[in-house]
Amino acid sequence: MLSQNRLRDHGVEIGVLKPGALNAITDVPGVQVGHSTLIEGDNIRTGVTAILPHSKNIFQEKVPAAIYVGNGFGKLAGYTQVKELGNLETPIILTNTLSVPTAMNAVIGYTLNQPENDDVRSVNAVVGETNDGYLNDIRGRHVTEEHVLEAIENAKSGPVTEGNIGAGTGTICFGFKGGIGTSSRVLPKKLGGYTVGVLVQSNFGGVLQIAGVEVDKQLDRYSDALKYSADGSCMMVVLTDAPLDSRNLERLAKRAMLGLSRTGGIASNGSGDYVIAVSTAEACRIPYQSESTAQTTTTLRNEAMTPLFLATIEATEEAILNSLFAGETMIGRDGHKIEAIPKEQVLKMLKAAGKQN
């Protein structure tokens, strides 16, 4: 990881729960993340990010899942089947708006070509997006199936590269350069010791605040009508090793929107704010085929959810802020330029407010 490109590198801690060793979605055991980045010529600034809940055949070993729609101005593919059946059967793919069909084709091909899937006749590819058309020649539809497969093949555990990478290459957040961001929280052992990891593709607006400090207000970057567009989108992926069913995963997913709001996001009319929540607990996996008509699993009671809610809120908030701190100034389509967040100026605000350790 590059030094000094995350909020905690500067002594700013979000929330009260402790992050995992990597402070990343890959702190959840078995989770892998991969990117494919397209930066070509003056106008192409886009890419693909793949999140794998486990390293085995996901179609054969499906995982409990839920999707929550904060504001639905978006093109999230695969939503209805996850809603109906409560499980996920493919990697989660993030890309740009007009590349969703291409990504779906790639994931379908990837799944059909996997060992054990010779007789599969239906695949529910889950593909999320945000619109990077200000910096990227989105109409050129430069993402290919090969780029999607490259992101899946690149997926690995360990540190996750953030900022101008993969699906976050051309995104904008609060008028600054956004991108991919990630964070995690680990519950105390007495609360189960479970890990919650979040990865975001930040591309939205509002009135930025960090650790409660009104950054945009102090920078005079807002007005009654807002000085930059608040439209955009945010894809949020929440993974946990806590044994949860789809009902409680949807409850968990809703809390990610609270994390977005803590950064000043407002889920504007033109924003596609979606949360995909998944339990990676091996005991909760759903086999594609079984000789039994019943499945017995142990899942957490409702009363055990509150600490996981807090973990999700904190990790989502910090993941978004990490995407901003990792984002670098970019010039793209037609010479459009988006500046990185002015770290020195912002850190002075945080220090003055007593937010730096």
Q: For 280-334, what is each residue's pLDDT tens digit?
A: 999 999 999 998 999 889 999 999 999 999 999 999 999 999 999 999 999 999 9
Asked whether residue 177 carries a pLDDT value surpassing 70, the answer given is yes
* Span 103-131, average pLDDT: 97
Convert the pLDDT of each residue in 6-63 to its tens digit.
999 999 999 999 999 999 999 999 999 999 999 999 999 999 999 999 999 999 999 9
Asked whether residue 173 carries a pLDDT value surpassing 70, the answer given is yes
Task: State the CB neighbour count (10 A cutoff) for residue 354.
Answer: 9
* The pLDDT of residue 14: 97
Task: State the CB neighbour count (10 A cutoff) for residue 226.
Answer: 17
Q: How confident is the model at residue 1 (pLDDT cuts 50, 70, 90)?
A: very low
Structure tokens at 89: 């059967």
Convert the pLDDT of each residue in 187-219 to its tens digit.
999 999 999 999 999 999 999 999 999 999 999
CA distance between the termini of the chain: 21
> Is residue 23 within 8 Å of residue 158, measured between CB atoms?
no
Distance from the Cα of residue 249 to its chain's centroid:
15
Dihedral angle over CA of 255, 273, 18, 54, nearest 10: 100
Convert the pLDDT of each residue in 56-101 to its tens digit.
999 999 999 999 999 999 999 999 999 999 999 999 999 999 999 9
Catalytic residue among 233, 246, 279, 323: 233
Is residue 246 annotated as part of the catalytic site, yes or no? no
CA distances from 231 to 39, 175, 179 (A): 24, 10, 15
The answer to whether the pTM exceeds 0.85 is: yes
* The pLDDT of residue 4: 63
Query: Which residues, other chains included, contact 306 with Cβ-Cβ below 8 Å and sequence gap of 6+?
Result: none
Structure tokens at 95: 């890309």
Catalytic residue among 99, 271, 279, 323: 271
Is residue 273 annotated as part of the catalytic site, yes or no? yes
Is residue 271 annotated as part of the catalytic site, yes or no? yes
Convert the pLDDT of each residue in 222-252 to its tens digit.
655 555 566 789 999 999 999 999 999 999 9
Asked whether residue 353 carries a pLDDT value surpassing 60, the answer given is yes
Left (φ > 0), alpha (ψ -120 to 50) or beta: where does 27 sit?
Answer: alpha
Q: How confident is the model at residue 357 (pLDDT cuts 50, 70, 90)?
A: confident
